[in-house]
Structure 1
Amino acid sequence: MSTGIKLDLERIFSILELINNPQKRLSIIHIAGTNGKGSTSAYIDSILLKSGYKTGRFNSPHLLEPRDSIRINGLPISKENFLKTNEFITNINSINNLGSTSFEILTAISLYLFDKEQVDVSIIEVGMGGRLDATNVFDNVLSSIITSIGMDHTDFLGDNIISIAKEKAGIMKTNGNVIIAPQIEKAALDTLKKCAEEIGCAKIILVDGAKWEKEESRLVSTKLLDNMDIKINIPLSGDIQLENSATAIIAIDLLRKTEKKFANITNEHIIDGIKSTKWPGRLQSIDASKLSNILGMSISSNLLIDGAHNPQAVKALRTFIDKKHENKLIKTHWIFAATKGKNISEIFEILLKDDDSLTAVGFSKVEGMPWISCYDPKEIIKVAKNVKENINVSVAENLREALNHAYTKCNKEGGLVVLCGSLYFIADLFRFLQINVYD
């Protein structure tokens, strides 16, 4: 098994052929994009579960361990099931000398198990890009969904928004349905529409998004395909969820209007499904009392955590903080770690204010992804100082030290503590705080 990233479909098709092509028997909702894929898939999954359907969902990267990227009926597959299936497929890969990557193996495991479990619908999130991603193995799909597109993975997908959009559009199918979420970049939207028309998609649906009805209670209103309003309570934080929830709702509305199998989905199922959605690590607040108990120090303010790791996502994080504090320049104590290769200079241009402090730290090795490594905290500090010369900076040896340092400053100077930069870093926090994300 190869560990690195190789954008090529030959190996995944070879291994799927050897396990009897499970992808040909599955009903698929396929989701590509830069940001919002995970929460959009979680909304769709939750609605379908509330409607009484059996679901499979494949997200990447995993949060705590590889098995949690594969879910059946909303729950990660068991360790036993994962290890057994992983051994089976890894052996097939090895015996036939296919050289499949670990992501291709994981994709094959998910499709094999969804087929074996005879799920009603499989919700599949693209790993990277779309056109050459290991998940792009389906002849037909119920719908292709493209969430918000921004600059990320430029080494593989191209160094401009048009090239990236074309790669994402690679999951669209001739005579298939495509749902395009609101796009920040006009060039991305124009490219996606053009690709959909050239490919010959049957339906091309542009999502308008949603609007706040009562933001304090997180009540929003969005329109269904017949232009009727539906009001829902969004449990996930951030204005980006106006787009993600609306995209999920349109996907479900199209599904029930075009597929007899899903015709019994009601508006009540949609409302209940959205309200019940969980997607940890994104604009999530960690209770101060839990931190106090583990760190052994007095902490009065909650910890805000977010897996934002590209410019578009950190803009959403910065907007959330500013909006929550009514655009007052509240002092923010950042705890930051990042994957090598990310443009942390551009990230800091968005995040950092003059009065902020920054504690840099690394994150643990990522199981199943040995090619992933974190920035040296000293390099993070160097980049941050280049962006904001007067910012107070420090390096921590580990997560406990980073939290202690940030909260010591917060207790003394006031403000807000935010931990961000990578989902791999968020995973370290969950393990450190012993937070169960599998409920």
Structure 2
Amino acid sequence: MTEAGREIEKLLALHPKGFDLSLDRITRLLSALGDPHKRLPPVIHVAGTNGKGSVTAFSRAILEAAGLSVHVHTSPHLVNWHERYRLGRKGGRGEFVSDPVLADAVRRVAEANGGEHITVFEILTAVTFLLFAEHPADVAIIEVGLGGRFDATNVIERPAVAVIMPIALDHQAYLGDRVELIAAEKAGIMKKGAPVVIGQQAEDSAREVLVATAERLSCPHAVYGQDFLAYEEFGRMVYQDEFGLFDLPSPRLPGRHQFANAAAAIRAVKATGLPVTERAIERGLVSVEWPGRLQRLTVGALAKAAPASSEIWVDGGHNPGAGMVIAETMATYEERDPRPLFLIIGMINTKDPIGFFDAFRGIAERVFTVPIRASDAGIDPVALASDAMEAGLRAEAVSSVAEALHAIGRLVEEDAVAPRILIGGSLYLVGDVLADNGTPPT
């Protein structure tokens, strides 16, 4: 284990797990640290149920292509805690914080907290602000952890732009059981007079809440489908807003939904007023990386364990909305390259498994359900297989991803078409897979 990992494990043993949504504790802690959140570069603050990681990745890629240094905070991590903190580098690609620097920051924040009641996520968010304040950069992209209004990141007084990505049912115990209630929580990152970008929304009620909040706070706002949009034409991406039209390369991230995500990033970057050219946008779209989200595995230990010539994808999407997007992408791949689709799925007990599995009815050959090593909240594979069957899928519980791959190998005849395999249902599972495969994020 890394030095920073050991420091964080100490905190996990001392402080409660889970979420306790409030800004009081993080505000007190940041005050003890000298209010580093007030010494940040311009901030792009990103919330949403789905797509916030993608818009973060696109924004970073575009800004770095413009030669700017970009700090990035995301959560959760997949393999190592360091993934949550990418420090910008002028004229180049930002890098994950080094272990000694992260370990030192965690120790200083823990010492400033003085043993007071707090969640580990709040401590780690304070680490974000401390690192980003102490290392100069042109811009910071900060992703919300949960919700928005009472998320620990929401002490940012005036972002350069607040971005709200697609909203769907998730974390209902904390955020509400209707999309308009969840939208109201996400809209909490909007600040009076600060620009807002509203990404594509499947639910009119969510969009209406977001627009009403922006108007009430006198926030200049741009809404996908109304003020900006993107569509595919002749294998390229056309982006259009009130300022004009760009003919751009298709996004490197797979899936039709990435056109809307890329469009939100372009509009957000433009809203910051930072110097970004059309050429930088082009370069960003083709260089973007986002591990664990429709990421194809072509090398590594698990890739070798799969049947020969298999096409293997991993994706951490875990709610019904994400399931629909992933299933649509798999169906698109099936149209151009027909293969039997097998799912290897693990999920935690705060999710809606049946809603997730329902999206794959009619396109998945079989589901193998697996445990999640990295979380004690994982759904028992037998129970998860039952959920998959309730959604109309053939399912079987197994002990590991490796066993699932071997089982798929037994089902696929040697002279048959090589399968397409999707591993996902949880970012925790994807993290385990990338670690076991020997291909952690960089």
TM-score, normalised to structure 2, is 0.90
Counterpart for residue 277 of structure 1: 288
In 2: Cα distance, 1:105 partner to 1:65 partner? 17
In 1: Cα distance, 2:313 partner to 2:356 partner? 17
CA RMSD of aligned residues (A): 2.0
In 1: Cα distance, 2:152 partner to 2:136 partner? 21
Q: Which amino acid aligns with 1:350?
A: A
Counterpart for residue 259 of structure 1: none
Q: How far did residue 294 of structure 1 move?
A: 4.0
Report percent identity of matched pairs. 30
Residue 108 of structure 1: which of 126, 139, 159 is its match?
126
Q: 1:418 aligned to 2:433?
A: no
Change (3 A) 1:68 1:293: closer
In 2: Cα distance, 1:400 partner to 1:160 partner? 38
In 2: Cα distance, 1:237 partner to 1:53 partner? 25
Counterpart for residue 85 of structure 2: 70
Counterpart for residue 398 of structure 2: 396
Structure 2's unaligned 5+ residue stretches are 1-14, 89-93
Counterpart for residue 405 of structure 1: 407
Residue 11 of structure 1: which of 25, 39, 42 is its match?
25
Q: How far did residue 329 of structure 1 move?
A: 8.5
Q: How far did residue 354 of structure 1 move?
A: 7.8
Q: Which amino acid aligns with 1:67?
A: H
Q: How far did residue 293 of structure 1 move?
A: 6.9
Q: How far did residue 214 of structure 1 move?
A: 3.1
Residue 435 of structure 2: which of 407, 431, 436 is its match?
431
The answer on whether the counterparts of 1:14 and 1:98 sit within 8 Å (CA) in structure 2 is: no
In 1: Cα distance, 2:369 partner to 2:171 partner? 23
Counterpart for residue 76 of structure 2: 61
In 1: Cα distance, 2:317 partner to 2:256 partner? 14
In 1: Cα distance, 2:364 partner to 2:244 partner? 46
Q: How far did residue 397 of structure 1 move?
A: 1.4
Q: 1:253 aligned to 2:270?
A: yes
Q: How far did residue 290 of structure 1 move?
A: 4.2
Q: How far did residue 35 of structure 1 move?
A: 0.6
Counterpart for residue 352 of structure 1: 361
Counterpart for residue 314 of structure 1: 323
Q: How far did residue 410 of structure 1 move?
A: 3.4
In 2: Cα distance, 1:344 partner to 1:272 partner? 38
Q: Deviations over 1:18-60 (max 9, x none)?
A: 1111111212110111111011011111211122222111001
Change (3 A) 1:433 1:355: closer
Counterpart for residue 240 of structure 1: 257
Residue range with higher mean Cα deviation, 407-416 or 317-326: 407-416
Q: Deviations over 1:405-425 (max 9, x none)?
A: 123323466442211101111
Q: How far did residue 265 of structure 1 move?
A: 2.0
Q: Which amino acid aligns with 1:250?
A: R
Work out the number of aligned pairs and report it: 417
Q: Which amino acid aligns with 2:244?
A: N
> What does 1:188-203 correspond to in 2, within 5 Å?
188-201=206-219, 203=220
The answer on whether the counterparts of 1:225 and 1:250 sit within 8 Å (CA) in structure 2 is: no
Q: 1:48 aligned to 2:68?
A: no
> What does 1:329-344 correspond to in 2, within 5 Å?
331-344=340-353
Residue range with higher mean Cα deviation, 11-20 or 75-84: 75-84
In 2: Cα distance, 1:13 partner to 1:354 partner? 48
Residue range with higher mean Cα deviation, 4-13 or 79-88: 79-88
The answer on whether the counterparts of 1:333 and 1:410 sit within 8 Å (CA) in structure 2 is: no
Structure 1's unaligned 5+ residue stretches are 257-261, 367-371
SS of the residue 2:421 aligns to: strand
Residue range with higher mean Cα deviation, 403-412 or 241-250: 403-412
Q: How far did residue 254 of structure 1 move?
A: 2.0
